[in-house]
Copies of this chain bind each other. A is one copy, B any other.
Amino acid sequence: MIWRKEDIVKLEKRYRAAFINSINGFKSANLIGTRGIEVNTNLSIVSSLIHLGSNPALLGLVFRPDSVERHTLENIRSTGFFTANHVHAELIDRAHQTSANYPKDVSEFDACGIKLEYIENFFAPFVKESKIKIGLQFEEEHKLMNDTVLVVGSVHLVEFPDNALLQDGFLDIEFAETAAISGLDSYHTTKSLRRLSYATTDKDPVVIQSAPSA
């Protein structure tokens, strides 16, 4: 089936959101932890955490203008710090519940039964049971044409399971049971197919390593 721009514009709003949110492919599943200047904490599931660079290590996070994640964005702007915490299968139901529109003075850590921890005096709170946790500092933001905001953060610390780190630096997030998201509300586990060697024009790629979880 082919849908054109003029077909997509006519779709019912929630139907269109479900469809368009599905088309780019699989997305990351992270809980973003923040703390306000008045000490209240906030936790929000996002599928928009992206890689932007390795040196310096930078990640990006996209915020819709009308999003319930606005408390998170306010906290990032006012304090300069946030955390990203991988969501694994056991966390999915509670992580999804953080997308409900709780009042600003309610912490989703409490409301959704998710334990908070602080690591090494980092300002923003982490999710205790997440297996991969990233502490980030706000660097810059870009307003896009639809009023969506891209926040760029630099990586200040990463906590991860020792045995998920392979010898070439690859962190096996499937071994750490990290989930993937599709659309607005669909959660998936993964099964490794293979890793492929750095591609060069003179040969075909070869399998360099199967993940330990394969």
Taking Cβ atoms with an 8 Å cutoff, the residues of A that contact B are: 1-5, 8-9, 11-30, 47-60, 62, 64, 84, 86, 89, 92-93, 96-102, 106, 111, 119-120, 132, 134, 139-140, 142, 144-146, 148, 150, 152, 154-162, 165, 168-174, 178-180, 182-201, 204-205, 208, 211
Contacts and interface: CB of A to CB of B under 8 A. Distances in A.
Contacts of A102: 201
A200 B100 contact: yes
A11 B43 CA distance: 31
Contact of A191 (B11, B19, B58, B190): B190
Contacts of A146: 52-53, 56, 58
A158 B171 CA distance: 34
- Please state the number of chain copies in the assembly: 2
A178 B195 CA distance: 16
Nearest to A28: B25
A154 B135 CA distance: 33
B155 A144 contact: no
A99 to B, nearest CB: 4
A36 to B, nearest CB: 19
Contacts of A57: 5, 8, 16, 20
Given A17-B169, A58-B145, A96-B196, 18 more contacts: A2-B157, A12-B169, A15-B168, A19-B54, A20-B55, A25-B29, A25-B30, A51-B62, A52-B146, A52-B148, A58-B146, A106-B201, A144-B150, A173-B182, A182-B190, A183-B195, A186-B194, A188-B191
- Could you say which of A89, A148, A182, A198 has the most chain B C-beta atoms within 10 Å of its C-beta? A182
A90 B166 CA distance: 26
A158 B6 CA distance: 11
13 contacts: A2-B157, A16-B55, A22-B171, A24-B28, A24-B50, A26-B173, A26-B180, A27-B50, A101-B201, A144-B150, A172-B182, A185-B196, A187-B196
